[in-house]
């Protein structure tokens, strides 16, 4: 199966769910979607499975797949946990990260900066994902890394779309530089706090997310 095709459909379905085209509780029929995208059912099925993992779709036995928009409380709770997981990764990584990994972080930041200059939010997210995964790995704690990756996958559509908030990419870039500086100094507390603040959703970011995702009160 063409994984790139499945990922393209995944991204388009995320957009359709998050902008309200597909409403909360609406059934997503594989055959109908395959016709819409001009593909077989296989990449559609793969995309739906990933949406289930992200929490945007619920698979009901003998009924099919249904849109599931997270409520604002659930959304903020997920980001709170993600912020603490990543802060822990940074705290451990401060004393364990290798020089090679620090170079990888700096290289990822250079690519992020290029995406900022091109005003390419999707490209920025791809490089941002690389940046975060390096820190997860350099925590040196396999269980923590896996838990961070699991929640990262679930929050992917939400983290990706918030980058469209005006000025957010440049702000994120500045936060990346602060994180790398703290890791370079082996300052565990500063690294943890910088990454926690980077991931946390509060104030303007949360209001933007809530409006964009048309979250339900459920």
Tell me the pLDDT tens digit for each residue of 73-88. Answer: 888 888 899 999 999 9
Averaged over 127-136, what is the pLDDT? Answer: 96
pTM: 0.76
**Which domain range does residue 200 map to?**
72-213
Task: Show Cβ contacts of residue 102 under 8 Å, excluding neighbours closer than 6 positions.
Answer: 180, 183, 184
Which of 52, 67, 82 is where one domain is finished? Answer: 67
Residue 117 and residue 91: Cα distance in Å, rounded? 30
The last residue of a domain, from among 38, 67, 96: 67
Task: Compute the distance between CA of residue 179 and CA of residue 192 in angstroms, rounded to an integer.
Answer: 8
Instruction: Please tell me the predicted confidence (pLDDT) of residue 46.
Output: 93
pLDDT given at position 218? 37
CA distances from 49 to 27, 57, 58, 154, 181 (A): 14, 8, 9, 12, 38
Identify the pLDDT of residue 74.
82
128 and 34 together in one domain: no
Positive or negative, the Cα torsion across 176, 182, 185, 186?
negative
| Residue 110 banded pLDDT, cuts 50, 70, 90 | very high
Q: Mark whether 22 and 107 lie in a shared domain.
A: no
Domain assignment present for 218: no
Q: Running DSSP on this structure, what letter comes out for residue 202? A: -
Distance CA 32, CA 198 (A): 39
Is residue 15 located within the same domain as residue 95?
Answer: no
pLDDT, tens digit (0-9, with 9 covering 90-100), for 35-80: 999 999 999 999 999 888 878 899 998 899 999 877 778 888 888 9
Q: What is the spatial distance between Cα 6 and Cα 25, in angstroms, rounded to a whole number?
A: 23
If one counts the domains in the chain, the total is: 2
Residues 94 and 166 in one domain: yes
Cα 7 from Cα 178, distance rounded (Å)? 32
pLDDT at 208: 61
CA separation for the pair 114, 120 (Å, rounded):
9
* Per-residue pLDDT at 2: 65
**Which has more pLDDT, 135 or 163?**
135
For residue 209, pLDDT over 70 is answered with: no
How large is the average pLDDT for residues 182-195? 98
Tokens of residue 178, six digits: 């602060």
Rounded to whole angstroms, the Cα distance separating 197 from 201 reads 8
The arithmetic mean of pLDDT across residues 125-144, rounded, is 96
Q: Decide which of 30, 49, 67 is a domain's last residue.
A: 67
């Amino acid at each position: 199966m063409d994984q790139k095709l499945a990922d393209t459909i995944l991204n388009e379905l995320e957009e359709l769910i998050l902008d309200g085209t597909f409403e909360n509780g609406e059934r997503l029929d594989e055959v109908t979607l395959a016709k819409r995208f001009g593909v077989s059912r296989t990449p559609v099925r793969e995309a739906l499975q990933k949406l289930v993992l992200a929490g945007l779709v619920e698979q009901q036995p003998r009924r099919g797949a249904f849109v599931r928009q997270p409520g604002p409380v659930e959304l903020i709770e997920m980001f709170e946990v993600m912020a603490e997981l990543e802060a822990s990764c940074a705290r451990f990584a401060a004393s364990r990260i290798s020089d090679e990994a620090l170079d990888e972080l700096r290289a990822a930041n250079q690519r992020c900066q290029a995406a900022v200059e091109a005003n390419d939010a999707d490209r920025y997210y791809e490089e941002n994902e690389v940046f975060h995964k390096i820190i997860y790995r350099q925590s040196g704690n396999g269980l923590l890394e896996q838990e961070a990756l699991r929640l990262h996958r679930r929050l992917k559509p939400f983290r990706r779309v918030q980058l469209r908030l005006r000025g957010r990419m440049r702000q994120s870039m500045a936060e990346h530089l602060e994180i790398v500086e703290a890791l370079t100094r082996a300052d565990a507390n500063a690294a943890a706090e910088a990454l926690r603040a980077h991931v946390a959703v509060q104030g303007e970011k949360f209001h933007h997310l809530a409006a964009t995702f048309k979250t339900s009160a459920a």
